Chain A
């Protein structure tokens, strides 16, 4: 589903990703771990189409199409979803409207009829329940005044509604207490399916107790320095990132 080959990315002339290769199959969950500044978030942003990154080499294809040639909204409509590390507050726009606009943009792209208000309400209530979100959230402005955990749950709610094929979760677990982490993880697990792939960018192994990955990759200094199965994450938890960084150096 996602094939990244020797991807090199610079920001303001500084190379952040120094040749990343990664292959994610439909149905898989990959975890990308690594210390701060290793390039994890850059990778997620580049895949989602954020401007301001210069791709200096390599490629990324998604379902056989050149992902890097598409603008952000095209990627979203084609089924790529990024759960933000820091979801943006948008005062003056209610959450329900925002979610509906996003879903309809995707349906329109697929040539399907837009959803009417009643059907949408039924859908969103069902999904909100899954994430144990009070209906008040739907009426409030997007992320405005939400706690950290509420913002992250709201990201997963958007994911549940948009039903992406490829979901990139950028440090969705950071800063969550254990209850919120469980709710968010249940939301993600409920969406796991043979047609859908997940890339979890995380700093902490703890998330992987709840969302069990198929593959774990360690990113350091812009390169994947080690890949393995879930046991690699447990080893990192025990030994920290130091040994891997020195091994790679």
Chain B
């Protein structure tokens, strides 16, 4: 059986580009990239036959051959990117345009802290690959699907964040990804590695934006390694072009007493699929996964989460909400796997969906697999429409029906945003939520 043309395309492109990838020639790196390519050639892109992709069809990758390899970027300057920054957020910033790190748009070296490492992956791959050997590609790729394998085969740029033991990052670290309109549809494959050693602490924000409204494909992988007692808060805001495809995997490995908090906000893209996985591989580890997805028109948004409780006294809390309008389609699949050793696990999962149109659809699938006997696990999933009693209550106080609807949608969605502790980000997201709602000007007063 010969491989599908799209698979051959990425295999042959890889053959042509591999020797030019940063760090090429470093034996461990060459072998990880080749192994990943082999895995991709074998797996191909996921199809609905794969249970984890049952509701999300990636037929676009069969129809379009996206251009791999980083393309030259337009000469953007500081002014061009202002509107993609979070107002009031004092952050250390790495900017990537079409997947390539742009030093001229990023925080200057002199502005970055000396006691931690915040660098472009490409640079570290070229200059100091040994620093990456222990973790790069070691976490996200075991059992990964074709997308994660493809990212590993081509991994070239992204961010490398290293927090030495006990260090606390004094500012959030903002990884800003900008896609620009190009003649050929691009395949951007950022790869981030965050290594937080024992008792270190940081906040990392990934944002994805588009300068045009063209089609392209983002296939991102973020690997997170938390040492004992390390604390990481990770935010991701996806607002790609509505013609774009966005697939992303976040894979975390957590040591004893570490705490990972993730907030994933999905607003853009024609199709967005996010896998968020964490392995709690030592006692007392905790992870919090929050998410909000808004979709309209023909947008498709899919969140798959997986938490592996491997050792006792682990805690996981998941809270995802979705608002779907038009003919939008949502998918939530949350897997909590409690291994036999993981006694005293405390796991809770909640997914609530609001359907604003009779053509919008959502598939929500909580899955608990529990192999320990002394655990506390709960899950709940709801799908509903705006509450008629609440609407009447607001209208009976004189509110216009559209304003009443917007108020209730805002109230529903902002519950997730209110969990965000990074104030400037929370404010800008709440304002953005309000802008998307009709007859909602007055709602700005609620943002505080």
Q: Which residues of A does B touch, CB under 8 Å?
A: 48-51, 71-73, 75-77, 81-82, 84, 87-88, 90-94, 97-98, 100-102, 104-106, 109, 117, 141, 158, 162
Contact = CB atoms under 8 A, between A and B. Distances in A.
B407 A93 contact: yes
B78 interface: no
Contacts, number: 78
B390 A101 contact: no
Nearest to A48: B396
Interface secondary structure of B, over-half rule: helix
A150 to B, nearest CB: 16
A7 B392 CA distance: 22
B398 A109 contact: yes
Contact of B396 (A76, A93, A94, A101): A76
Interface string B417-436: 01000000000000000000
Contacts of B442: 101, 104
B396 A90 contact: no
Interface in B386-408: 387-390, 392-401, 403, 407-408
B446 A87 contact: no
Contacts of A50: 392, 396
A101 B395 CA distance: 11
Contacts of B410: 92-93
B395 A72 contact: yes
Nearest to A144: B411
A88 B398 contact: no
Given A90-B408, A91-B411, A97-B445, A106 B398 contact: yes
A98 B399 CA distance: 9
B415 interface: yes
Contact of A73 (B395, B415, B446): B395
Interface of B: 387-390, 392-401, 403, 407-408, 410-412, 414-415, 418, 442, 445-446
B411 A158 contact: no
Nearest to A73: B395
B171 to A, nearest CB: 30
A81 to B, nearest CB: 8
Given A71-B395, A90-B407, A101-B403, 17 more contacts: A48-B396, A50-B396, A73-B395, A76-B395, A76-B396, A81-B396, A84-B396, A87-B393, A90-B408, A92-B410, A92-B414, A97-B445, A100-B445, A101-B442, A102-B398, A105-B398, A158-B397
Contacts of A72: 392, 395-396
A101 B392 contact: no
A100 B407 CA distance: 13
B398 A97 contact: no
A94 to B, nearest CB: 7
27 contacts: A51-B392, A71-B395, A72-B395, A72-B396, A73-B398, A76-B395, A76-B396, A82-B396, A84-B393, A84-B396, A87-B393, A88-B389, A90-B390, A90-B394, A90-B408, A92-B412, A92-B414, A92-B415, A94-B446, A98-B397, A101-B407, A102-B397, A105-B397, A105-B400, A117-B445, A158-B397, A162-B397
Interface secondary structure of A, over-half rule: helix
A88 B445 CA distance: 21
A104 B443 CA distance: 13
A73 B399 contact: yes
Contacts of A117: 445
Contact of A101 (B389, B399, B411, B418): B399
A71 B398 CA distance: 10
Query: Which 4 A-B residue pairs are closest in the complex by CB-CB distance?
Result: A92-B411, A105-B398, A102-B397, A76-B398
B301 to A, nearest CB: 21
Contact of B400 (A73, A81, A94, A158): A73
A11 to B, nearest CB: 14
Nearest to B412: A92
A49 B411 contact: no
Contacts of B388: 51
Contacts of B399: 73, 101-102, 105
A49 B394 CA distance: 12
Contacts of A75: 396
A159 to B, nearest CB: 10
A98 B418 CA distance: 18
B439 to A, nearest CB: 11
